[in-house]
């Protein structure tokens, strides 16, 4: 019985440690400002890193396509989805099909 309790305790302890640092949030809104290293969406500022990816969802006919874009393709006023961890942007998706 003690072994079972120990195994259950260790399982939850390990799961808690591994998942504690992976909290991500998703925010959708219009770009207010964009600089070389930050983007402001809905009054929140996110920093870019070398690992931040920039994508766009485009509509062609009846289908939506996910295409890679450059940071310079993002303009103020565009509708975007920001995937972030704390204040660091992991992925920026421009919703071009909404324009």
Question: How many angstroms separate the CA atoms of 9 and 88, rounded?
Answer: 33
Q: Note the pLDDT tens digit of each residue in 51-95.
A: 999 999 999 998 999 999 999 999 999 999 999 998 999 999 999
Q: What is the pTM of this model?
A: 0.74
Question: How many angstroms separate the CA atoms of 34 and 80, rounded?
Answer: 12
Predicted pLDDT of residue 22: 62
Beta bridge partners of 6: none
The domain ranges of the chain are 24-98
Is residue 99 over pLDDT 60?
yes
Is residue 20 over pLDDT 80?
no
Q: Note the pLDDT tens digit of each residue in 70-80.
A: 999 999 999 99
Could you please state the CATH topology (level 3) that the domain comprising 24-98 is classified under.
Answer: OB fold (Dihydrolipoamide Acetyltransferase, E2P) (2.40.50)
Question: How many angstroms separate the CA atoms of 56 and 63, rounded?
Answer: 13
Q: Are strands 88-95 and 53-60 parallel, antiparallel or unpaired?
A: parallel
User: Looking at residue 6, what DSSP letter applies?
Assistant: H
């Amino acid at each position: 019985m003690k072994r079972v309790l120990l195994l259950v305790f260790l399982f939850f302890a390990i799961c808690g440690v591994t998942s504690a640092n992976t909290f991500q949030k998703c925010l959708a809104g219009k770009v207010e400002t964009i600089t070389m290293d930050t983007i402001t969406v809905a009054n929140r500022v996110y920093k870019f890193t070398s690992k931040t990816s920039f994508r766009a969802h485009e509509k062609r006919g009846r289908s939506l396509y996910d295409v890679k874009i450059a940071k310079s393709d993002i303009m103020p006023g565009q509708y975007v989805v920001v995937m972030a961890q704390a204040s660091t942007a992991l992925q920026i998706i421009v919703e071009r099909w909404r324009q």
